């Protein structure tokens, strides 16, 4: 082989091999796996099993009295004006409304779920939605965050999943409903006493996905009760498209108060009230 521009043979071979290597790398198919998800929380345990007749139960008495106006929490699940709250927050209310700030409230129509403590509120347009993951697998010990309006004021709670229970409601609206029990592990600084008003708040996982609706509390036991996937999913089926985006960063025990404040400012989480007729 002749020398090119006075280069030795080995240099020519090196240039040719290097060019072939670069060409092959450029043309190579990129089939790398996406980044791994965040590692599970160190306290997370086994996957939550299905409903069974052996689940423990908790009894709640609903007085058979006329409806008394109260406030609760709702969250947006569709930008075209679909919100979710707890059924007992608005059941019996003739004019439920969502507080939008500045002393103003927007009236909403109501659709009550027949077999769950869930209601869908309908308005003409709404804010960005929270992504719903009604069928996401749940693990005992996993964290959840509940942003809303406890005691009628902005506040939030952090919890860990204990397991399934059966909520036995006596009195008005008597029924047995499968629920999830969560241990309260944190709340807004200065928030003492009852969590009344947090009913209807979203139950958010670390990615900001809604996995349920906050329903009730047991202060003496330090527990928060929420819908179970078995009732939550059917109650909101068809209300949200599958393209709602996740939060930019995971929710943690260090930032959940700031995330909750942002959701309330954007009205993705709003207060529900009953307007006088």
CB-count exposure of residue 139 (10 Å: 0-12, 13-18, 19+) = middle
Give 136-162 pLDDT, tens digit per residue.
Answer: 899 999 999 999 999 999 999 999 999
Structure token digits, residue 262: 């942002």
Q: Which residue has the higher pLDDT, 126 or 18?
A: 126
Length of the chain: 277
Q: Looking at residue 2, what is its pLDDT? A: 45
**Statement: residue 108 has pLDDT above 60:** yes
Q: How far is CA 123 from CA 98, 107, 126, 171, 176, in A?
A: 9, 7, 7, 31, 31
Share of the chain above pLDDT 90, in %: 56
**Statement: residue 1 has pLDDT above 50:** no
d(CA 77, CA 132): 7
Q: Looking at residue 47, what is its pLDDT? A: 75
Judge whether 151 and 191 are in contact, CB under 8 Å. Answer: yes
Q: Looking at residue 64, what is its pLDDT? A: 55
**Statement: residue 260 has pLDDT above 50:** yes
Give 31-50 pLDDT, tens digit per residue.
Answer: 544 454 555 565 667 777 66
- Residues 62-86: what's their mean pLDDT? 81
Torsion region of 141: left, alpha or beta (phi above 0 gives left; psi -120 to 50 gives alpha): left
d(CA 101, CA 106): 10
Longest dimension (CA), the chain: 104
Decide: helix, strand or coil at residue 151: helix
Q: Looking at residue 54, what is its pLDDT? A: 59
* Nearest alpha carbon to residue 228 among 156, 178, 154, 169: 178
- Residues 114-119: what's their mean pLDDT? 92
Q: Looking at residue 153, what is its pLDDT? A: 95
Q: Which residues are 190's β-sheet partners?
A: none
DSSP state of 166: E
Structure token digits, residue 268: 């993705």
Structure token digits, residue 121: 């509120």
Give 219-258 pLDDT, tens digit per residue.
Answer: 888 999 999 999 999 999 888 776 677 777 899 999 999 9
Mean pLDDT of the chain: 83
Structure token digits, residue 56: 């423990």
Give 162-173 pLDDT, tens digit per residue.
Answer: 999 987 776 565
**Statement: residue 209 has pLDDT above 80:** yes
d(CA 197, CA 84): 14
Q: Looking at residue 136, what is its pLDDT? A: 87
**Which residues of the chain form beta strands (DSSP E)?**
57-62, 72-78, 82-85, 96-101, 104-107, 109-112, 119-122, 143-148, 155-171, 175-187, 202-204, 210-218, 223-227, 269-274
Q: Which residue has the higher pLDDT, 121 or 240?
A: 121
Residue 132 — very low, low, confident or very high, per pLDDT cuts 50/70/90?
Answer: very high
Decide: helix, strand or coil at residue 265: helix
d(CA 145, CA 134): 15
**Statement: residue 109 has pLDDT above 80:** yes
Q: Looking at residue 3, what is its pLDDT? A: 47
> What is this structure's pTM?
0.80
* Nearest alpha carbon to residue 230 among 146, 184, 173, 165: 165
Give 181-205 pLDDT, tens digit per residue.
Answer: 999 999 998 999 999 999 999 999 9
Judge whether 219 and 191 are in contact, CB under 8 Å. Answer: no
Judge whether 186 and 90 are in contact, CB under 8 Å. Answer: no
């Amino acid at each position: 082989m002749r020398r090119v521009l006075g280069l030795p043979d080995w240099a020519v071979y090196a240039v040719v091999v290097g060019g072939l290597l670069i060409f092959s790398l450029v043309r190579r198919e990129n089939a790398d796996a996406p980044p791994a998800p965040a590692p599970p929380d160190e306290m997370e345990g086994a996957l939550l099993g299905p409903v069974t007749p052996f689940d423990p139960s908790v009894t709640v008495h609903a007085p058979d009295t006329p409806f008394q106006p109260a406030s609760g929490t709702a969250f947006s699940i569709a930008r075209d004006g679909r919100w979710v709250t707890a059924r007992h927050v608005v059941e019996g209310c003739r004019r439920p409304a969502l507080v939008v700030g500045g002393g103003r409230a927007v009236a909403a129509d109501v659709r009550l779920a027949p077999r769950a403590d869930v209601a869908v509120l309908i308005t003409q347009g709404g804010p960005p939605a929270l992504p719903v993951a009604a069928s996401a697998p749940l693990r005992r010990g996993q964290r959840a965050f509940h942003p809303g309006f406890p005691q009628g004021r902005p506040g939030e709670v952090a919890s860990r999943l204990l397991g399934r229970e059966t909520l036995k409601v006596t009195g008005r609206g008597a029924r047995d409903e499968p629920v999830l029990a969560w241990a309260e592990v944190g709340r807004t600084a200065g928030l003492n006493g009852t969590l009344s008003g947090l009913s209807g708040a979203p139950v958010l996982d670390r990615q900001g996905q809604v996995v349920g609706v906050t329903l009730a509390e047991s202060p003496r036991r330090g527990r928060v009760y929420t819908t179970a996937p078995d009732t939550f999913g059917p109650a909101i089926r068809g209300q949200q498209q599958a393209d709602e985006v996740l939060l930019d960063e995971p929710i943690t025990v260090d930032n959940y108060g700031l995330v909750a404040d942002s959701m309330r400012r954007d009205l993705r989480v709003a207060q529900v009230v009953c307007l006088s007729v």
